[in-house]
């Protein structure tokens, strides 16, 4: 496992004083070049406590892009998106919906793991709106490079990043909506919401909700 970045350079701010990744994003449609450049990003403070950047992964010409919130503990350690417990559940839900994972590009609204210590564990901490905005240039670059037919937001953070801060996930999930990029968009719950369900019935209901929404996506592909 790579060691966390230890330098303490201040994050970069835009003309309005807001943190932004923009100066680190090269003008290219190459996902390989973008991914390599993301390792140098100091667009906000999150790189300081994460192990490494976790860029998106998947085919350059994917028809569908899935956007989560941020890498989790396992993703941070491995440097790959959606490889932890939520990733395993996501794989199963995709399979049940009839979407081959290898045909999809998966990424996150925020590319570094935000966490807080609890004993020896690192517990997920929700990124601030300012951190989602700071990281947005990377997501925009990925979407511009791929030009997907459908953008699927997993969870409220991704949905509000794509559809705006007024988006209400549980009221508007499963609806096909336009996006600024011209692609169709749809939001559903994040796979981790299924894992967080407190009893077997809630977990089953949440999983069925996720798969039902993914089947709508499968029908659009
Ligand atoms: S979270 Fe995004 S903007 Fe912040 S340092 Fe990481 S890649 Fe850059």
Tens digits of pLDDT across the chain (221 residues): 555 554 555 667 776 678 999 999 999 999 999 999 999 999 999 999 999 999 999 999 999 999 999 999 999 999 999 998 999 999 999 999 999 988 999 999 999 999 999 998 999 999 999 999 999 999 999 999 999 999 999 999 999 999 999 999 999 999 999 998 789 999 999 999 999 999 999 999 999 999 999 999 999 99
pTM: 0.93
With tokens 């989560």, the residue in question is: 68
Q: What is the 3-state secondary structure (H, E, C) of the chain?
A: CCCCCCCCCCCCECCCCCECCHHHCCCCCCHHHHHHHHCCCCCCHHHHCCCCCCCCECCCCCCEEEEECCCCHHHHHHCCCCCCHHHHHHHHHHHHHCCCHHHEEEEECCCCCCEEEECCEEEECCCCHHHHHHHHHHHHHHHHHHCCCEEEEECHHHHHHHHCCCCCHHHHCCCCEECCCCCEEEEECCHHHHHHCCCHHHHHHHHHHHHHHHHHHHHHC
pLDDT in tens, 126-160: 999 999 999 999 999 999 999 999 999 999 999 99
Q: Report CA(102)–ligand 1 centroid distance (Å).
A: 26
Residues in the ligand 1 pocket, defined by CB under 6 Å: 21, 38, 41-44, 46-47, 53, 110-112, 134-135, 138
Q: Report CA(112)–ligand 1 centroid distance (Å).
A: 6
Q: How many whole angstroms separate alpha carbon 82 and alpha carbon 74? A: 9
pLDDT in tens, 195-218: 999 999 999 999 999 999 999 999
Task: Tell which atom from ligand 1 comes closest to the C-alpha of 21.
Answer: 3
Best of 138, 140, 142, 157 for a ligand 1 pocket test (most atoms within 8 Å of beta carbon): 138
Q: What is the pLDDT of residue 181?
A: 78
Best of 45, 53, 129 for a ligand 1 pocket test (most atoms within 8 Å of beta carbon): 53
């Amino acid at each position: 496992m790579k060691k966390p970045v230890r330098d303490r350079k201040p994050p970069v701010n835009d003309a309005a004083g807001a943190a932004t990744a923009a100066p680190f994003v090269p003008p290219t449609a190459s996902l390989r070049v973008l991914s390599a450049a993301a390792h140098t990003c100091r667009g906000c403070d999150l790189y300081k406590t994460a192990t490494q950047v976790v860029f998106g992964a998947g085919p350059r010409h994917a028809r569908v892009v899935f956007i989560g919130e941020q890498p989790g503990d396992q993703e941070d350690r491995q440097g790959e998106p959606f490889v932890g417990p939520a990733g395993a559940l996501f794989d199963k839900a995709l399979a049940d919906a009839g979407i081959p994972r290898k045909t999809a590009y998966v990424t996150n609204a925020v590319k570094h793991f935000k966490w807080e210590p609890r004993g020896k564990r690192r517990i997920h901490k929700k990124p601030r709106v300012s951190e989602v905005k700071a990281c947005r240039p990377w997501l925009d670059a990925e979407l511009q490079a791929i030009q997907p037919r459908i953008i699927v937001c997993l969870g409220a953070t991704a949905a509000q990043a794509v559809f705006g801060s007024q988006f209400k996930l549980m009221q508007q999930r499963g609806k096909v909506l336009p996006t600024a990029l011209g692609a169709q968009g749809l939001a559903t719950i994040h796979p981790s919401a299924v894992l967080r369900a407190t009893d077997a019935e809630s977990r089953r209901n949440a999983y069925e909700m996720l798969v039902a929404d993914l089947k709508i996506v499968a029908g659009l592909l």
